[in-house]
């Protein structure tokens, strides 16, 4: 990667990935795009930024040509919970945007990345140690678009030689940018509420295990995969990756190590709980480990400590005494 165009740069992944890529490849070599512009945003102010609706193929192609990019990282999409509320919009954006991005990559011979998700699995998928290659019959529109996206990327690789790569992300946790309507959002919200109010009502029920990853590991995974030598990749696309699997009680227990007075109860959201129940409990990441040396650094307690330290500073709240 030398010059990179990113779609959906203001989302949870894009906000941090853009800044990290600018550190590595140079500010002017990472062109950030999104459908909206916001004030006082470091992604917009720190380097090239363009407004882009990813359902507009011509506009995307023109931007890629204008900046003479060699890599396209396509992140723009509706997440799981929002997609269930607006399934037609989810299909139009997630699939229409993806096929436009793949077409641009084909036309300009670009290296390509787009993320898939554990949402691409369904209730018939083996729930524990879910294999890299297994049954995928999701019961959500988000999941349907992710499975279709995986197949589409494989098609463009086999048919047109597009170097399309991707990972299946678990739930992503970050202190920098709030998530935008995912089923795993509780695992971010809980840290905010622990610091602000010392209590939290989880919309995901007790005992519900889901795979998770801290954002620094997710960002480094994208970069590592994109820099891997193509001949080493047997799968190319939709690699299982994860760092930890926990239920709400376990994340609460981790927080209590630093905020002993923290309390959690439950106010389960049936819609998001149904989605969570259809997803795996844990993923087999051996393909990513073998083909491009995937290796996350953060476990639950290390992530909790880092989240609480950074959120205390961000929210201008007192640092818990256990972390001073």
Which region, left, alpha or beta, applies to residue 129 given φ > 0 means left and ψ of -120 to 50 means alpha? left
pLDDT band at 324 (very low <50, low <70, confident <90, very high): confident
pLDDT class of 184 with cuts at 50, 70, 90: confident
For residue range 215-230, list pLDDT tens digits in order. Answer: 999 999 999 999 999 9
Q: Is residue 94 within a helix (H) or strand (E), and if so which, with residue range?
A: helix 87-108
CATH architecture designation of domain 4-170+214-240? 3-Layer(aba) Sandwich (3.40)
Mean pLDDT of 37-49: 94
Cα gap 227→237, rounded to integer Å: 14
| Measured torsion, CA atoms of residues 204, 205, 208, 213, in degrees rounded to the nearest 10 | 30
| 310 pLDDT tier (thresholds 50, 70, 90) | very high
d(CA 303, CA 297) in angstroms, rounded, equals 9
pTM across the whole model:
0.93
Nearest to residue 76, comparing CAs of 62, 85, 64, 89?
89
According to the model, what pLDDT value does residue 182 have?
77
Report residue 293's pLDDT band, with 50, 70 and 90 as the boundaries.
very high
The Cα–Cα gap between 43 and 57 comes to: 23
CA distances from 99 to 154, 155, 304 (A): 12, 11, 38
In the predicted model, what is the mean pLDDT of the chain?
95
The half-sphere exposure of 13 on its side-chain side, counting CA atoms within 13 A, is 29
pLDDT at 178 over 80: no
Local confidence band at 15 (pLDDT 50, 70, 90 cut-offs): very high
Taking residues 110-122, report their average pLDDT. Answer: 96
**Residues 269/85, Cβ–Cβ less than 8 Å:** no
Q: Can you tell me the mean pLDDT for 163-179?
A: 91
Helix (H/G/I), strand (E/B), else coil: 1 = coil
Pairwise pLDDT comparison (180 vs 318), residue with the higher score: 318
172-212+244-280+298-323 and 4-170+214-240 share a CATH fold = no
Quote the pLDDT of residue 81: 82
Per-domain residue ranges for the chain? 4-170+214-240, 172-212+244-280+298-323
Residue 65's pLDDT is 98
| pLDDT tens-digit series, residues 240-273 | 999 999 999 999 999 999 999 999 999 999 988 9
Mean pLDDT of 272-300: 94
- Catalytic positions, please? 142
Q: Where are the beta strands (DSSP E) in the chain?
A: 4-7, 30-34, 49-51, 71-74, 111-113, 116-117, 164-165, 167-169, 171-173, 199-202, 210-214, 239-240, 244-246, 263-266
CATH 3.40.50 assigned to domain 172-212+244-280+298-323? The reply is no
Which residues have C-beta within 8 Å of that of residue 36, sequence separation ≥ 6? 10, 51
Residue 146: enclosing H or E segment and its boundaries? helix 141-160
* Residue where the block lists tokens 């994860």: 242
Q: How far apart are CA 321 and CA 9, in angstroms?
A: 36
């Amino acid at each position: 990667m030398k010059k990179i165009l990113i779609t959906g740069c203001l989302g949870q992944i894009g906000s941090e990935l853009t800044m990290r890529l600018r550190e590595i490849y140079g500010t002017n070599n990472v062109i950030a795009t999104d459908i909206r512009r916001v004030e006082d945003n470091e992604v917009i102010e720190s380097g090239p930024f363009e407004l882009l609706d990813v359902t507009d193929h011509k506009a995307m192609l023109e931007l890629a040509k204008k900046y003479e990019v060699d890599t396209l990282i396509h992140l723009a999409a509706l997440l799981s919970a929002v997609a269930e509320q607006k399934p037609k919009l989810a299909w139009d954006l997630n699939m229409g945007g993806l096929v436009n991005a793949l077409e641009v990559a084909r036309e300009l011979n670009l290296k390509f990345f787009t993320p898939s998700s554990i949402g691409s699995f369904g209730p018939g998928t083996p729930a524990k140690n879910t294999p890299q290659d297994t049954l995928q019959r999701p019961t959500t529109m988000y999941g349907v678009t992710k499975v279709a996206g995986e197949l589409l990327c494989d098609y463009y690789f086999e048919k047109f030689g597009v170097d399309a790569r991707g990972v299946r992300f678990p739930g992503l946790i970050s202190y920098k940018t709030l998530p935008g309507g995912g089923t795993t959002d509780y695992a971010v919200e809980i840290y905010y509420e622990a610091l602000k109010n010392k209590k939290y009502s989880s919309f995901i029920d007790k005992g519900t295990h889901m795979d998770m990853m801290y954002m620094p590991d997710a960002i480094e995974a994208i970069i590592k995969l994109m820099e891997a030598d193509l001949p080493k990749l047997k799968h190319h696309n939709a690699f299982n990756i994860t760092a930890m699997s926990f239920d709400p009680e376990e994340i609460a227990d981790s927080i209590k190590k630093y905020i002993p007075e923290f309390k959690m109860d439950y106010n389960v959201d049936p819609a998001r709980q149904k989605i969570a129940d259809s997803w795996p409990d844990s993923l087999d990441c051996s393909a990513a480990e073998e083909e491009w040396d995937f290796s996350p650094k953060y476990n639950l307690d290390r992530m909790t400590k880092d989240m609480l330290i950074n959120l205390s500073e961000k929210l201008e709240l007192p640092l818990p005494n256990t972390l001073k």
